[in-house]
Amino acid sequence: MLTKARIAVFVSGGGTNLEALLNAQESGQIPHGEIVLVCASNESAYALTRAANHGVPGVAVPKKQMTQETFEAALSEKLEEYRVDVIVLAGFLSILSADFVKQWPDRIINIHPSLIPSFCGKGMYGLKVHEAALARGVKVTGATVHLVNEIPDGGRILLQKAVDILPGDTAEILQRRVMEQAEWVLLPQAAEMLCKQITKN
């Protein structure tokens, strides 16, 4: 029986959600999981520096110059090497194929910076999500953590948290508020929920 689920965090950029996960782990908030690997889809992702600062192995699997098949084969090889049980997509902006996702049923979670089903789907990532929310004039947005069992945003929702939109918000200001009030809180909670579930079985 597993005592701790082994977590790989997939990232593409700054890695503030990764930082939240690492801090949560260090302060004992993910007792049923352990972050054993950080995989970045590009070599220059600052998230790799964050991983190194916390003593967690980080690898770049650069999507550029690779076909989808070789990219996913390279990811799978790393996941096997590190005996990973759970994948957390934390600002991972490369698309994973349905074939890849099928190999990890109920084992992949993703954070998205809106209240799904609003402002999600193709082309909706990062600042674009907040720009779309402001353009539509919604007064409340938030973040969602969901299982990834279907591409692109399919899978049961695990956690959501609402965040107010305030007069004068820019996409950057709103992005920061959604991260602080919702994303950095929800993602460690959802990771622990899933790891706890897995280690029970």
142 binding ligand GAR? (CB under 6 A): no
17 binding ligand GAR? (CB under 6 A): yes
58 binding ligand GAR? (CB under 6 A): no
- Cis bond before residue 31 (omega within 30° of 0): no
Among positions 40, 61, 88, 113, the unique one binding ligand GAR when judged by CB under 6 A: 113
Q: With beta carbons less than 8 A apart as the criterion, state whether 90 and 187 touch.
A: yes
Measured from the CB atom, is 62 or 126 closer to ligand GAR?
126
Give the residue among 33, 55, 53, 43 at the shortest CA–CA distance from 11: 43
Among positions 57, 60, 68, 125, the unique one binding ligand GAR when judged by CB under 6 A: 125
How far is it, in rounded angstroms, from Cα 99 to Cα 192?
A: 26
Among positions 112, 132, 146, 182, the unique one binding ligand GAR when judged by CB under 6 A: 112
Among positions 51, 111, 145, 163, the unique one binding ligand GAR when judged by CB under 6 A: 111
Task: Kindly calculate the radius of gyration of the chain based on its CA atoms and give it in whole angstroms.
Answer: 16
Among positions 7, 9, 13, 35, the unique one binding ligand GAR when judged by CB under 6 A: 13
- Of the ranges 21-29, 52-60, 124-132, 192-200, which one interacts with ligand GAR (CB under 6 A)? 124-132
How far is it, in rounded angstroms, from Cα 186 to Cα 143?
A: 8
32 is catalytic: no
Measured from the CB atom, is 73 or 95 closer to ligand GAR?
95
Measured from the CB atom, is 6 or 112 closer to ligand GAR?
112
Which residue minimizes CB distance to ligand GAR? 91
Among positions 36, 183, 190, 195, the unique one binding ligand GAR when judged by CB under 6 A: 183
Give, rounded to a whole angstrom, the gap between the first and last alpha carbons of the chain: 8
Residues near ligand GAR (CB under 6 A) are: 11, 13-17, 90-91, 111-113, 125-126, 129, 179, 183
